Amino acid sequence: MKDSVIAAQQTLPGRRTTRDLARAAVSGWLGTAMEFMDFQLYSLAAAIVFNKIFFPDVSPAIGLIAAMATYGVGYVARLAGAVYFGRMGDRIGRKKVLYLTILLMGASTTLIGALPTYAAIGILAPILLVALRLIQGFGAGAEIAGATVLLAEYAPVKRRGLVASLVSLGTNSGTLAASGLWAVLLSVLSEDQLLSWGWRLPFLLSFVLMLFAFWLRRGLKESPVFEERPDVVDGVAMAKDEVESAIATADEHEGSVLAAGIRQRKGRAFFLALGLRFGQAGNSGLMQTFLVGYIATNLAVGRSVPTDAIVYGSLAGFVTVPVIGLLGDRFGRRPLYLALTALTVVVAFPVMLLITSGSTAGVMLGMVLGLNIGVLGLFSLESVTMAELFGSRTRFTQLALAKEIGGILATAIGPVLAATLTAVTGSWWPIAAMLVVYSLITFVSALLAPETRGRDLVRLEDAV
């Protein structure tokens, strides 16, 4: 066993060229774009039409809550996918998992577009909708984590924040594409056309993107960090008992390197990452999911205004995301986290005043500010910081779990809670209060977390 460990440590991974990095970057960007396009297509449909198509026999308020609940169940499946595919990714490599996740997401999203409605098959329609949502979530549970890990492990150390931020641009691109499609549908189709067949088009079109993403990943090389791991032999990570045996026969240096990865007490880095995730995930669920339906249902503005606002906010994000990535590389992750979360707390109530002002300009400005400060800016930092917090032996699994548990607690439950609180109070202030709470959780987590900029990602142990 000792000989195999030493051989694994002395074998250099395949050389990574600029072209390899570019392919990994585009692959990570495209897969994440597809994930967020699928989820944003669903969330916008849930906010705009699903309450009428799949839950027509209830009041509009209850229908919106039910539609948001179907949106939320996908996050339960995402957690299962995070555990299953995360462990697989840490065991056999990152790129193999990314093949499977893209297929699951694409197939389930396409099939949603082919579903019969409640009017055609009754209660079976929402049941099938939930089933496909669960499959979609199972694949998505590891997609963004895998893309995040792959890009962070590919990136040059001094530009890791910028390169890893491409994952955030993927989310932005997916949100933009989905919002743009819905904006077009809402502007050119009548209400009857939208409800009868128009809503299906965005889901069916996602099949083309799935085929392209799958083709692109065929030529992708494995993460160089995974290949350099001292516990990986012949492309597969050793089990814990195998590592313990290797430690017993290895020299002092080799043994300490291996022991660091399996004997460190886990937990602190995970909970810090979960706290960092909370602000971005919670704010995203409110800004990109709940407020779209809330504005369309409760405010006297055009039905396309909220989707147009998401489009403009996403366009602005193409500047916000890489700039935050560059600043994180220059000044560190913690200072940027503290500044962005503090700013979100300060502007939460003013932003909601703008959004609920009743004017189209107010809605647009409020949504663009809230989306870029409280969601996209934090996501740019999250993409690299969470990867740097974890050791390479369990990075995929822990990162995926932190993202998905944070998603369940904040993004999935948040819109349902917001819908309930605004219905009970008849006011918008609970939305602003939730933005403040989510952001303060991330602010405190950033205060407690170590600075991770420049950390060696091959190390098996967590940063804390």
The string of DSSP codes covering 51-96 is: HHHT-TTS-HHHHHHHHHHHHHHHHHHHHHHHHHHHHHHHHH-HHH
Binning pLDDT at 50, 70 and 90, where does residue 56 land?
low
Report pLDDT for 72.
63
Distances (CA, A) of 108 to 113, 115, 182, 210: 9, 11, 19, 11
Binning pLDDT at 50, 70 and 90, where does residue 334 land?
very high
Residues 6 or more apart whose CB falls under 8 angstroms from that of 11 comprise: none
CA distance 317 to 306: 16
- Higher pLDDT among residues 24 and 389, named by residue: 389
- Higher pLDDT among residues 12 and 15, named by residue: 15
* Mean pLDDT confidence for 275-297: 88
Cβ(177)–Cβ(33) below 8 Å: yes
Our measurement of the distance from residue 41's CA atom to the centroid of its chain's CA atoms, rounded to an integer in Å, reads 14
Model-level pTM greater than 0.85? no
Helix, strand, or coil here: 237?
strand
- Higher pLDDT among residues 57 and 401, named by residue: 401
Binning pLDDT at 50, 70 and 90, where does residue 65 land?
low
Q: In degrees to the nearest 10, what's the CA dihedral of 313, 315, 321, 322?
A: -160
CA distance 413 to 420: 11
Report pLDDT for 4.
42
